[in-house]
Amino acid sequence: MFSSLNIFRIVALLEGVSYILLLFIATPIKYLLNDPQYVKLLGMPHGILFVAYVALAFLFKKEFSWTNKEFLIVLLASILPFGTFYIDRKYLKTVHNG
């Protein structure tokens, strides 16, 4: 059974992977090879994962007792490549969900 924390961690992982694929593979293919199919393929799933990540961050702010600074870091990580991996390791992996 997945806990809410595990769901957040999975969404963070998938959001990070989709962002890296979109940024470093799909976008260069679109502009260098004039082939937008990969951006179209990855764009919507990444957008959904991004929204889910931000929504879950808002839902868990109080539960995880994040300060405003920590919460801002969690949100900013969603727009930085590899940022959600850092958040998982620094903020989510160490939280014990009882």
pLDDT digits (tens, 9 = 90+) for 59-77: 999 999 999 999 999 999 9
- Give the residue numbers spanning the domain of 77: 4-92
Q: What is the DSSP letter of 33?
A: S
Tell me whether residue 38 is in a domain. yes
Residue found under tokens 């595990």: 6
- Cα separation, 70 vs 59, in Å, equals 14
Tell me whether residue 87 is in a domain. yes
Tell me whether residue 27 is in a domain. yes
SS3 content of the chain, % helix, strand, coil (to 5): 75, 0, 25
Nearest to 57 by CA among 69, 72, 45: 72
User: In angstroms, how far is CA 27 from the centroid of its own chain?
Assistant: 18
When divided into structural domains, the chain yields a total of 1
Tell me whether residue 81 is in a domain. yes
Tell me whether residue 41 is in a domain. yes
Tell me whether residue 25 is in a domain. yes
Does pTM top 0.95 for this prediction? Answer: no
Residue found under tokens 């679109």: 30
Tell me whether residue 84 is in a domain. yes
Among 1-5, 25-29, 36-40, which stretch is predicted with the lowest mean pLDDT? 1-5
Task: Check pLDDT > 60 for residue 97.
Answer: no
Q: Are 57 and 9 in contact (CB under 8 A)?
A: no
Tell me whether residue 97 is in a domain. no
